[in-house]
Chains A and B, each alone.
Chain A
Amino acid sequence: MIDIFLAILIGMLFGTLTGLIPGLHTNTVALIVASMSALLLSWFSPLAVASFLVAMVVVHSFMDFIPSIFLGAPEDATALGVLPGHLLLLKGRGYRALKLTIIGGIGTFLISLVIIPFVFLWLEKSYAIISQLIAPILIAFSTLFILQENKLKKIIWATIIFLLAGTLGLLTLNYVSLKQPLFPLLSGLFGTSTLIISLLNKQKIPAQKTDDKIAWLTKSRLSDYAKAALSSLFVSILPAVGAAQAAVISRAFTKYKNREEFLVVIGGINTAVALFTLTTLFLIGKTRTGVMAVLANIIELNLHQYLFLLAVCFVAMAFGVFFSLRIGKWTAENITRINYRKLSLGIITFLSILAIWFSGLLGLYILITATAIGMLAPLANVKRIHLMACLVIPVVLYYI
């Protein structure tokens, strides 16, 4: 039992690190775990290693909004949250943006626990039908998003951006061999492009307020949690669809009243996907993330172990909430003391080095191209959601 407690603690610490360091993903740690599994399993039980992985993923899902909001350096799951979060940061409300994602995470986690028993009754029967619907849904809603740009000039720009991002995604994911293809692709489209636009605009980060109170048990919040939970459930059972696409689908099904609601939902999706991918693995044996693939190789879950891992998720959620609030508050209070221009340049350099480290010079090339495409959306004054074509087009082609 001590080995399990130790594994949970280490997992939560790793989740903190992977969440806070831009570019370091839980899948990367999971791959290291997979390569060392023989050694690890001689020290720890399979359930302890599984607990490590689950605790890491849940804590990561709270922490990774800190770099994405305060530094504009997202990962796949938080990519769409960058702009709303960054805009609140520029209004001195970066900590509020973080709190909204955390509230979303807690609320959606709790609602997801209520939904899970129904998933048990429904999942196996519905799986085949849903997987046939994903391509038409993504095509229909991508078209809708483009047409939602209200002027012809903007519709043309949105189409150009959609096609460029989609082609880049397709080439990167399907036609050239890279170790971590998503890293340069998403870092460029959503991270370095945001940082360069900030540098071009000579934006100054204002002093941040950290005393905002946010109601989290209102009727509209409950509806946000439900939206996030259902979107996460929907995409957690589909192959080749992850948290980023969950946000796309959630946006397709619901219209957000404001960017705060969007942050709540994306925060919720990010946490609930971790919960539902575990459930999907247990119920239908399908792995939907790199971490779950490693977990499936280490342990074949029975009901008791699955329930134990749900409890681990709960503990990790409490840890993730507490420490992401503390770290986020410290960051908000100190961000004006930092030279944001130097910090942005430092992060761009860091992401470029990581792109070379993970994916070689070709990775750097993709990062530069993706950055240029990512800059087009704000410069042409159209929504960034069209950039998600980088994942939507490969997913649609996978299904048709």
Chain B
Amino acid sequence: MQRALQIALTLSLIGVFSLALLAQFYEPKQIPIANLVNHKEDIVIIQGEVVKVTQKPTVNFFEIKDSTGTITVVTFDKMDKLDKRLLISVKGKVTTYKGKLELIADRMEII
């Protein structure tokens, strides 16, 4: 059993570290907003213009618009004031809230 423990620990460490490495280089696909409906629970990237901003102490909401549609982006990270009309790229998870699609942002960059 001691040998089985060593093998299991080695496999666990290799598995977790290589997955962490993979996650570093893993870049999800960029998806047009209208197609996000087919990507529920997926991690995706969207690009578009900020058309509405609601910033609260614990949560921020942005409406992002591209040529195909609009979606609400939610982030719980504290951030500086974001202006409308900025072009941004957002990486995050597509979820549903009260029947509407939302993107829970993991990373946002001004482009």
Q: Which interface class (under 10, 10 to 19, 20 to 34, 35 or more) fits B?
A: 20 to 34
Select A369's contact among B11, B26, B28, beta carbons within 8 Å.
Answer: B11
**In contact, B20 and A372 (Cβ under 8 angstroms):** no
**In contact, B11 and A368 (Cβ under 8 angstroms):** yes
A-facing mask of B21-33, CB < 8 A → 1, else 0? 0110010100000
Within 8 A of B (CB), among A377-396: 379-380
- Interface assignment of A296: CB less than 8 Å from any CB of chain B: yes
- Tell me the complex Cα distance, A172–B26, Å: 12
A-facing mask of B83-111, CB < 8 A → 1, else 0? 00000000001001011000000100000
- Interface assignment of A229: CB less than 8 Å from any CB of chain B: no
**In contact, B28 and A177 (Cβ under 8 angstroms):** yes
Q: Please judge, given known A-B contacts A369-B11, A376-B12, whether A175 and B26 are in contact too, CB under 8 Å.
A: yes
Q: How many whole Å from A275's CB to the nearest CB in chain B?
A: 22
- Interface assignment of B19: CB less than 8 Å from any CB of chain A: yes
**Chain-B contact segment, one of A51-59, A91-99, A163-171:** A163-171
**In contact, B11 and A372 (Cβ under 8 angstroms):** yes
- Tell me the complex Cα distance, A365–B15, Å: 8
- Tell me the complex Cα distance, A131–B26, Å: 32
Q: How many whole Å from B14's CB to the nearest CB in chain A?
A: 8
**In contact, A368 and B15 (Cβ under 8 angstroms):** yes
Within 8 A of A (CB), among B18-76: 19-20, 22-23, 26, 28, 41-44
- Interface assignment of B79: CB less than 8 Å from any CB of chain A: no
**In contact, B19 and A168 (Cβ under 8 angstroms):** yes
Q: Please judge, given known A-B contacts A175-B26, A369-B11, A369-B16, whether A200 and B4 are in contact too, CB under 8 Å.
A: yes
B-facing mask of A147-176, CB < 8 A → 1, else 0? 000000000000010001001100110111
- Interface assignment of A47: CB less than 8 Å from any CB of chain B: no
- Interface assignment of A297: CB less than 8 Å from any CB of chain B: yes
Across the two chains, which residue of chain A brings its CB closest to B14? Answer: A369
Most buried by A among B1, B7, B106: B1
B-facing mask of A333-377, CB < 8 A → 1, else 0? 000000000000000000000000000000001101100110110
Interface residues of A (CB under 8 A from B): 160, 164, 167-168, 171-172, 174-177, 179, 200, 285, 293, 296-297, 365-366, 368-369, 372-373, 375-376, 379-380
Pick the 9 closest A-B CB pairs, nearest first: A369-B15, A372-B11, A175-B23, A177-B43, A379-B5, A375-B8, A372-B12, A373-B12, A372-B8
